[in-house]
A and B are shown apart, each in its own frame.
Chain A
Amino acid sequence: MYKSIAKRLLQFIPVLLGITFMTFALMAIAPGDAATVRLSAGGTTPTPEMVAALQAEMGLDRPFTLQYFSWLVNFLSGDLGNSYFGNTPVMDKIFQALPFTLMMAALSMVLTLAVSIPLGIYTAVRRDKWDDFLIRGLTFVGNAVPNFTIAILLIYFFALKLRWFPVLATRDPIGAILPAVTLAIVMSSRYIRQVRAAVLDELAKDYVVGARARGIKEKTILYKHVLKNVMVTIITLTAISIGSLLAGTVVVESIFNWPGLGSMVMEAIGRRDYPVIQGFVVWVAIAYMMVNLIADISYTWFNPKIRDI
């Protein structure tokens, strides 16, 4: 077990190298020169001499691979460089925004699971009854609605019409509710269907037939046996959707002005603050891989038959 975790962690290395190299190459071919961007950030029009001096200072005149390696060495010591604006370390910016994103992501995940596990089981049990059709119909529509449309509809009804929430809430925990609900609607549309399919799969298995034959209550079968086996599907889903959840936070945070990583990166994109964009991408890569690793480890807990990740 520990051996396989170590092996997985080692596999992170080439992937991280690939991603960092790719983002680095991207910055290199991006239109506009980093030194000019940084000088213009101060509000002055840079002269060619100033640009050249700063280029030398930032090491931009060195060959590309050398620049990459020195960035890599810094990264290994926990330094992702400084923002072009205000010279704040990228690490600091990330740690400042991270709690907001984590809070919103956690809230939307909890909402999603709280809605989709019961509804998924319910629709499976009520298979082909009217309420099953209704809920499945709703999830079908939900699957076709982009997160930004849901966000706009929620703002329109709950912030503008009913005035339950502030339109652009920042920093208050109440401001996390509408963005989290937006993401939860998107994810639940997918989860309910998957949970329903997994429960139906499970209900058709021999052990359920056996348990029924032994006269065990349907509720006990459902909540004690089926649910535990369905958990593996739910964990897989959660791990897979972390990616779209993180992407969703970028869109939703910038709509609701929530001061998380998504707003940070959109602001950085807007003013070509390359080190911040790069730091964000690296951070997401690490987070995504860690979540998938944790998901794989948790399988062994729910299903002891899986010994090796």
Chain B
Amino acid sequence: MKRKNAGHLPKSFWILVILISLLVVFSLFSKHLTPYDPYATEPSNVLQPPSAAHPFGTDGHGRDLLSRVIVGSKTSIFSAFALIAMTSIFGTLIGMIGGYYGGWVDAFLMRITDVFLSFPDIILAIAVAGVLGGGLFNAILALFLTTWTQFARLARSSTISVKEEAYIHAAKLSGCSSPRIIFLHILPNILGALIVTATLHISGMMMGIAGLSFLGLGVKVPQAEWGSMISEGRKYLQTAPWVAIYPSVVMVAVMMLFNLFGDQVRDLLDPKHGKNLLKRNTL
């Protein structure tokens, strides 16, 4: 993989990087940036339409929606990041081990991934989260258990395609240990495709978490999270549509940002772009 010089990266890429960094920093400090307390209920202020005091209006408990959307950003964005980090690292590790060692280790690991891949992941996630009984941790666990196999498959096939290269044989001859070859010689060469897949999956993971929360299998009330806020807004759709619509708009905008970023990264790193069959949208 040829890496492009940082100076030659397109301007649109840097714009997206800056926007996403701002968003991440903003969500990191979101607790201190809300105009109101996102959890303070006020019975006299229930279901207020958007106004100068409450730009997004208030919800069924009189809580300021803007504050809740801001605080919710941290849960939504960081749980997606955590999920992507967990699945890609674990999946890559398993895939590289299977691909490098081959034989029965590979056969065993791949039969496990077969089971997961021959099954719609989000259905299993719903069942797992449902049985474990909801909560953000269980929702992340459920999505982790059902999505790491995609990375394992990708890492395995990439590992197999590079492991017969001359430089790997040279490394072996000069006495490198297997872990050293895997991490220092194979990993850097398959990283491109993995990063592409990981960035393209960020919004899918966000959608997965929001979807589980929407079904009541993710974060527990009253914790602010976009999916569960939209779910709460369903009740007031007739009289106060803003309760559901503002969190939706913000969430869609953020996911579009991550999708744009994923497409950019793919165009930069993936030589045969546009043919990424691994991209499976969740929920």
| Chain A interface residues toward B at CB < 8 A | 14-15, 18-19, 22-23, 26-27, 30-32, 140-141, 143-149, 152-153, 155-156, 160, 186, 190, 197, 240, 242-244, 246-248, 250-251, 254-255, 265-266, 268-270, 272, 274, 277, 280-281, 284-285, 288-289, 292
Considering the chains assembled together, what is the distance between the CA atoms of A159 and B237 in angstroms?
11
**B126–A148 CB distance below 8 A:** no
**B248–A149 CB distance below 8 A:** yes
**CB within 8 Å for A26 and B244 given contacts A146-B207, A244-B283, A284-B119:** no
Q: Which of B202-226 contact A (CB under 8 A)?
A: 203, 207, 210-211, 214-217
**A156–B241 CB distance below 8 A:** yes
Chain A's closest residue to B263 (CB) is A140
Chain A residues with CB under 8 Å of B238's CB are 160
Chain A's closest residue to B274 (CB) is A197
**A277–B280 CB distance below 8 A:** no
Provide 21 A-B residue pairs closer than 8 Å at the C-beta atoms, listed in order of the A residue: A18-B111, A19-B115, A27-B131, A31-B132, A141-B256, A144-B203, A144-B259, A146-B252, A147-B283, A148-B230, A149-B248, A152-B230, A152-B234, A152-B245, A156-B237, A156-B245, A244-B122, A244-B282, A266-B130, A270-B216, A285-B119
Chain B residues with CB under 8 Å of A251's CB are 211, 214-215, 283
Chain A residues with CB under 8 Å of B114's CB are 14-15, 18
**B118–A160 CB distance below 8 A:** no
Chain B residues with CB under 8 Å of A281's CB are 123-124, 127
Name A277's contact: one of B131, B216, B259 (CB within 8 Å): B131
**A152–B282 CB distance below 8 A:** no
**A243–B211 CB distance below 8 A:** no
**A255–B122 CB distance below 8 A:** no
Name A152's contact: one of B131, B244, B274, B280 (CB within 8 Å): B244
User: Which one of A144, A255, A281 has the greatest number of beta carbons of chain B within 10 Å?
Assistant: A144
